Structure 1
Amino acid sequence: MRRAGLSLLLAVSAVAPLRAETLNSALLRAYHNSPVINSSRAGVRALDEKVPQALSSMRPRASGNAFLGVQENRMVSKQRDIPLTDSTLEGPVKSIQSGGSVPRSAAVSIEQPIFDGFKALNNTRMAETGVFAGRERLRLTEQRVLFGAASAYMNVLRDTAALRLQESNVSVLAEQLRQTRERYVAGQITLTDIAQAEARLAAGQSLASQARATLEASIGAYRQTIGVEPKKLAPGAPVDSLIPKSREDAERIALAEHPVILAALHDADAADIDIKVIEADFMPKLSVVGSAFTQTDVSGIYNRNVGGYIGGRLNVPLYEGGLTSSQVREAKELAGQRRLDVDVARADVLALIRANWGALQAAKTQIAAAQSQIAAAERALYGVREEAKAGQRTTLDILNAQQELLNARIGLIIAQRERVVASYAVLSAMGRLTTQTLGLDPMGYDPSIHFEQVRDLWGGTDTPDAGR
């Protein structure tokens, strides 16, 4: 009877060929095709660019500028450089010069920072820490997608089996109604029995219609999560081999590996580094600057100036109105908040472990109870039918016994689904619901590839193709 009970949920795949979709293949399909995961990966790649941006502040900066124009010059000068006794000349002598020119200039400037109060160094460390936090959040997104895929897969199996049970129940109730009418014709029962059988058949048809609608909703969720229509699904199995024997061991693993906790720790580290970044504004800045230039007809006609210079630039902050001091205080408060967020994350993960562990143990118990309930309900239905033949039971007794057996079988289907999903939930709460742990894709997506490709880039706008 135990084997018969377990076969209820697996009956969906009884007619499936050997190449039916398996739970592992569905999870792998969701992992590779999920737009949610792909979006998160793009977000992490964007975070990677924060590192070269931080490094750029200590790299040389070069700029060039040029000027080209047209100007018209007219110079008028007055001279009275003649003897005062010469009465033939009146007033000063005017000298007029005019002409056009094309003023032009070009310059190239270079600045190399030497010391910035370690701001670039700390900015780089903070950016790298942000990348690590982003990777953990990506891992959390992958876990959620994989768990959603497992739930969607098992929901389709559950609802398909439930629909078949409801449809089978409608057939049984229809046969029961036929037999009831025959017994009425034979004078063994009354019209009341026929009405009871008809009412139960109508209720069964309604439940079958409801089960069909539930299955359609589950199919839609499957298509959304995994990316294809569910056609022929193989049985799903729990991942007990990947779960430790005790809840305490699961909690220790979760505290060390869960992405929510690790992301919160990285956020706390980044907040501590941010304090040092802001404190760098209190320190002097030193850089080497140089320039080369040429100017033609800029300050006058027919002149040219070519030159260059190199020197050091020192900037010593004295007082900024209290802005930097306020920013440091703000950063310290935020760092304290991030450290408290770590404690919140740990408490949330531990609560999640306890809830999912309890659900897994309850599902195991429910399966055993449902199997016993089915066996007892089958015996009860057989006995009620035999007693009804002897006139010791009514039609309503038969209908009630059939309903109890149906409820027990549906309860077993639900418990089997919960058994599988709860095992994945525990694995997810431990932080180990990954394609590597499941043995689906040992290589998987490696976010460090893109990080190494862009970290030391000094230019270029094309995004690397590798690591996608």
Structure 2
Amino acid sequence: MTSANAENLAQALSLAYSNNPTLNAARAGLRSTDENVPQALSAYRPTVSASGSATRTWRDYEYLSGTSSRYAATTTSLGLQVQQILYRGNRTRNGVKQAEAAIQAARESLKATEQSVLLDVATAYMDILQNQAILELRKQNVAFLREQARSAKDRFAVGETINTDVNQAEASLAAAISLVYAAEATLSASQATYQQLVGKKPGTLVAGYSVDNLFPKSVDAAVKQGISQHPSVQAAKFNVDANELAVKIAEGALLPTVSVTGETGRSWTNLTGATNSASITGAVSIPLYSGGANHSAVRQAKETLGQTRIQLDLARDQIRAGIVSAWGLLQASTQQITAAKAGVKAARLATRGVVEEQKVGQRTLLDVLDAQEDEISARISLIEAQHDRIVASFSLASATGNLSAANLKLKVKRYDPTEHYKAVRDKWFGLRTPDGR
């Protein structure tokens, strides 16, 4: 019967979705990227600046008649300037599009991070279950070997066996105790990894489960789905779009810039009174030669674009390789479970038979120890195969791009990446973030 406070795999995944620092950092990074759009849009808007100054001037005059006088004046001025860029080589329009593409890429990267974190949590969860089961087997083996060592000493005491049997039993017992310590250390390491990912120490974990419903039933269909919809591939596509726009932005620096500037001001002195002024200026700036910097920037942007296209091909290749690898592990672990179950059954029967035969003198203690070791190895192989089967299903779901909180139907408040974007996109001013910081 399952304890009321037992922790299942879905709960672990839900906790990680809400608490994992890697995932939360990726969300913060996306919110930072959102701000690129209002920054790009700002080039459509006017810039307004104010100026003010106050000057006190003293002059002493000495005349030929021998007399002198002092002149003191105070001049104060206030000014306001408004500038509007009308055209800058389409760099503003392309800059907004580039920022939008970068946000789309960041959102896809966030999805990829979510999948990676959920896969790591599922793996850590199953590692704990595996290592707990192996530790329990090691302890059972120690209890069995301790009984064999005690029995060998008793038989040696009454002359029914030789001292070699006692030494063999004690040596096997010492080795088994050492393996218990190693298993405890491995379990502690897996528990620490789990706590890092989930944000709390593991409780009483119940059996895990596979997610075979999250990927197609054939490797070809899985590959086709993965290379078309995996977040890593989608992010690479948006990065290509962003860098195509970067080329256009760099080329825009070679085109004219048209602006209009309006200025108004008021100045006054204590001698002449006040003066008001106003002006409006239209300006066209045509870049003729910038030392080659602008041309170099265009070439650089084109090379970066070529790099991102190669990275897109690489992302597809990596997804394809990941799916094929995960599919192979899934099929192999399924077959290993069947074989391991048969091996455990046979090893259990063999151990019991050898023990009974040893009691009537037909087998030696060494035969019993060997049979016990074979049974423990078979049971560990079954545990490892069951662990690998579940982890492989999560790996395949992740490789196809389907391992998400939504597809897993986790009972969590889903993070909406568009909420922050909508809140800041059209903000003209304000220092506080949408959450009040």
TM-score range, shorter-chain basis? Answer: over 0.9
Contact 1:71 1:101 in 2 (8 A): yes
Of residues 320, 333, 351, the one that matches 1:381 is 351
Count of paired positions: 437
Aligned to 1:61: 47
Of residues 76, 80, 88, the one that matches 1:116 is 88
- CA distance in structure 1 between the aligned counterparts of 2:219 and 2:412, rounded to whole angstroms: 27
Contact 1:238 1:419 in 2 (8 A): yes
- CA distance in structure 1 between the aligned counterparts of 2:78 and 2:238, rounded to whole angstroms: 48
Contact 2:214 2:397 in 1 (8 A): yes
Tell me which amino acid in the other structure corresponds to 1:194: V
- CA distance in structure 1 between the aligned counterparts of 2:174 and 2:231, rounded to whole angstroms: 51
Aligned to 1:127: 99
Contact 1:60 1:113 in 2 (8 A): yes
Of residues 291, 306, 314, the one that matches 1:336 is 306
User: Which segment is superposed worse, 441-450 or 278-287?
Assistant: 441-450
Tell me which amino acid in the other structure corresponds to 2:290: E
- CA distance in structure 1 between the aligned counterparts of 2:61 and 2:94, rounded to whole angstroms: 59
Contact 1:51 1:124 in 2 (8 A): yes
- CA distance in structure 2 between the aligned counterparts of 1:42 and 1:219, rounded to whole angstroms: 27
- CA distance in structure 1 between the aligned counterparts of 2:133 and 2:287, rounded to whole angstroms: 74
Aligned to 1:169: 141
Deviations 1:387-438 (A, max 9, x none): 2223211000011001100111111111111111111011111111110010
Aligned to 1:304: 274
- CA distance in structure 1 between the aligned counterparts of 2:288 and 2:183, rounded to whole angstroms: 75
- CA distance in structure 2 between the aligned counterparts of 1:210 and 1:275, rounded to whole angstroms: 57
Aligned to 1:314: 284
Of residues 140, 143, 157, the one that matches 1:185 is 157
Aligned to 1:23: 9
Contact 1:109 1:289 in 2 (8 A): yes
1:231-242 equivalences in 2 (<5 Å) = 231-242=203-214
Tell me which amino acid in the other structure corresponds to 1:132: Q
Contact 1:291 1:309 in 2 (8 A): yes
Aligned to 1:346: 316
Tell me which amino acid in the other structure corresponds to 2:34: D
Aligned to 1:287: 259
TM norm structure 1: 0.90
Aligned to 1:249: 221
Determine helix, strand or coil for the equivalent of 2:6.
Answer: coil
Of residues 333, 339, 343, the one that matches 1:369 is 339
Aligned to 2:108: 136
Tell me which amino acid in the other structure corresponds to 2:163: L
Unaligned runs of 5+ in 2: none
- CA distance in structure 1 between the aligned counterparts of 2:158 and 2:326, rounded to whole angstroms: 57
- CA distance in structure 2 between the aligned counterparts of 1:106 and 1:73, rounded to whole angstroms: 24
Q: Percent identity?
A: 40
Q: Are residue 101 (structure 1) and residue 79 (structure 2) matched? A: no
Aligned to 1:47: 33
Determine helix, strand or coil for the equivalent of 2:291.
Answer: coil
- CA distance in structure 2 between the aligned counterparts of 1:261 and 1:362, rounded to whole angstroms: 27
Aligned to 2:387: 417
Contact 1:250 1:430 in 2 (8 A): yes
Aligned to 1:197: 169
Determine helix, strand or coil for the equivalent of 1:102.
Answer: strand
TM norm structure 2: 0.96
Deviations 1:191-228 (A, max 9, x none): 11111111111111111111111111111111111111
- CA distance in structure 2 between the aligned counterparts of 1:93 and 1:196, rounded to whole angstroms: 129
Contact 1:69 1:103 in 2 (8 A): yes
Determine helix, strand or coil for the equivalent of 2:253.
Answer: helix
Contact 2:51 2:79 in 1 (8 A): yes
Query: Which protein is bigger by CA-based radius of gyration?
Result: 1
Contact 2:215 2:402 in 1 (8 A): no
- CA distance in structure 1 between the aligned counterparts of 2:157 and 2:60, rounded to whole angstroms: 129
Q: Give the superposition deviation at 1:248.
A: 1.0
- CA distance in structure 2 between the aligned counterparts of 1:61 and 1:218, rounded to whole angstroms: 57
Deviations 1:219-251 (A, max 9, x none): 111111111111211110111122211111111
Tell me which amino acid in the other structure corresponds to 2:45: R
Aligned to 1:460: 430
Contact 1:436 1:443 in 2 (8 A): no
- CA distance in structure 2 between the aligned counterparts of 1:95 and 1:116, rounded to whole angstroms: 62
Q: Give the superposition deviation at 1:385.
A: 1.6
Determine helix, strand or coil for the equivalent of 1:265.
Answer: helix
Deviations 1:59-112 (A, max 9, x none): 0011000001322234567xxxxxxxxxxxxxx778865332221111000011
Aligned to 2:369: 399
User: Which segment is superposed worse, 65-74 or 209-218?
Assistant: 65-74
- CA distance in structure 2 between the aligned counterparts of 1:307 and 1:55, rounded to whole angstroms: 32
Contact 1:349 1:429 in 2 (8 A): yes
Aligned to 2:403: 433
- CA distance in structure 1 between the aligned counterparts of 2:8 and 2:158, rounded to whole angstroms: 53
- CA distance in structure 2 between the aligned counterparts of 1:414 and 1:453, rounded to whole angstroms: 49
